[in-house]
Chain A
């Protein structure tokens, strides 16, 4: 169902897109560092300074959430239109369509890695010390990669049939931003609401980043639920992309 050549093509496409992006602007690659810093600066100003209640290390707490969120939201937003955006190619050659969401996920991830390294550097600078639970980070990152890839793949497979999905995705992401516990701690919410919010696998993942990086109290079993959801979404996305593979060049004009 999935061929090696096309996985390599997705990788080369991602690399080409990054290279093209870097050579486009005056700032080039430095923009990949500056842009996320500005982005997080805005949120630091809005939430960190205006809403801070002075308890604990709110800046680190907020940054962990924002970094993970930005990777997810950015990947899903571009992944959603990845098939439509390449209509020029789809009209001319047969390419399995999973190449496009995968390529956009890979280039989004490359940019995220830069930001993630910055986050780690910041945490070390302010005094957090790596401990054994940090060994779970690769698994956590991989899990988030597959979650975002699954969601992107599903949206990308449907958007050519329902172009309005792009607008809906934007609104849904906005809602998800407020529901994923990025600037507040879901665990501190009383009653049933917290368990409802944790049905969102992204909320569990963001919570896990914090447990590992700044709370030193990580229980790996919390990854089980998001792992199951990610696997299910990924399988669904592959089924959809394969099912409609040879219909897109009819639909996309």
Chain B
């Protein structure tokens, strides 16, 4: 039986209000007439200049905002942005922050406690995990943040600019883990300017400009067309 796509966007428009948000009728349309399907297990890359609407699209996919026109349909339970250190409180220890952060990302306390060992081991800061996060270096915080977000296990993972966390060694581990998760059949949407990475990771690319889809398809073709447009 063919499954319906994980997420379906049907002629979606999104506007931001200008000035006083409550009454204003002046609107800036940051996403215009976007129709897109994200299949289960697919890795979709999004390409485009600053202000093209990439982050807004991710917010829409994460369920943080609703379309102003058109509609979006989710056929999965959990879609989440790979966001680091959500809700972290400086004066709590590592473990407590892991629980708090994971609960904000939608996990029950029981679920995250059952994953605690894996989260701590992956972060590589096991010896500091019972110390307050305020004593951590920025790199350590980022490692722990990544580790929690990574273990949330959403059905569709959204990544805004690929993880440049911690030292070279951790960066490598983080990328490898992401890569494994994606090849294991998790759907992902990745926003990046790194052509090599997009080519290597993605099944399909979407090129976004001024809120519209300019081109969608094979990574090589889309990157070529995008690069051409930059040279003009």
Majority-rule SS of A interface residues: helix
A246 and B86 alpha carbons, distance in the complex (Å): 18
**Known contacts A20-B91, A162-B22; is-contact A13 B100 (Cβ 8 Å):** yes
Which residues in chain B, 61-100, are within 8 Å of chain A measured between CB atoms? 62-66, 80-81, 83, 86-87, 89-92, 96, 99-100
A161 and B17 alpha carbons, distance in the complex (Å): 11
Contact call B83/A92, Cβ cutoff below 8 A: yes
Interface residue? A220 (CB, 8 A): no
Q: What residues of B have a CB within 8 angstroms of the CB of A247 in the complex?
A: 21, 65
Stretch at the interface among A4-12, A74-82, A114-122: A4-12
Contact call B91/A23, Cβ cutoff below 8 A: yes
Q: Which residue of A lies closest to B81 (CB)?
A: A92
Q: What residues of B have a CB within 8 angstroms of the CB of A60 in the complex?
A: none
A92 and B89 alpha carbons, distance in the complex (Å): 15
Output the least CB separation between A150 and chain B (Å). Answer: 21
A residues contacting the other copy or chain, number (CB 8 A): 27
Q: Which residue of B lies closest to A95 (CB)?
A: B104
Contact call A249/B106, Cβ cutoff below 8 A: no
Interface residue? B166 (CB, 8 A): no
Contact call B87/A94, Cβ cutoff below 8 A: no
Q: What residues of A have a CB within 8 angstroms of the CB of B21 in the complex?
A: 161, 247, 250-251
Which of B59, B63, B91, B108 has most A Cβ within 10 Å? Answer: B91
Q: Which residue of A lies closest to B99 (CB)?
A: A12
Majority-rule SS of B interface residues: loop
Interface residue? B109 (CB, 8 A): yes
Pick the residue among B64, B66, B92, B106 that contacts A16 (CB under 8 A): B92
Output the least CB separation between B136 and chain A (Å). Answer: 15
Complex interface bits, A120-141 against B, C-beta within 8 A gives 1, otherwise 0: 0000000000000000000000
**Known contacts A9-B104, A12-B109, A246-B65; is-contact A89 B92 (Cβ 8 Å):** no
Q: What residues of B have a CB within 8 angstroms of the CB of A162 in the complex?
A: 22
Interface residue? B105 (CB, 8 A): yes
Q: Which residue of B lies closest to A10 (CB)?
A: B103
| 30 contacts across the A-B interface (CB closer than 8 A) | A5-B106, A5-B108, A12-B100, A12-B103, A13-B100, A16-B89, A16-B96, A17-B89, A19-B91, A19-B96, A20-B90, A23-B132, A24-B91, A86-B87, A89-B104, A92-B81, A92-B83, A93-B64, A93-B81, A93-B83, A93-B86, A93-B104, A93-B106, A94-B62, A161-B20, A161-B22, A246-B64, A246-B65, A246-B66, A250-B17
Question: Which B residues are closer than 8 A to A by beta carbons?
Answer: 16-17, 20-22, 59, 62-66, 80-81, 83, 86-87, 89-92, 96, 99-100, 103-106, 108-109, 132
List 10 additional A-B contacts (Cβ < 8 Å) besides A16-B100, A249-B64.
A8-B103, A9-B103, A13-B87, A19-B91, A19-B96, A24-B91, A89-B86, A93-B62, A93-B64, A250-B65
Closest 3 CB pairs of A and B: A92-B83, A20-B91, A249-B64
Question: Which A residues are closer than 8 A to B by beta carbons?
Answer: 5, 8-9, 12-13, 16-17, 19-21, 23-24, 86, 88-90, 92-95, 161-162, 246-247, 249-251
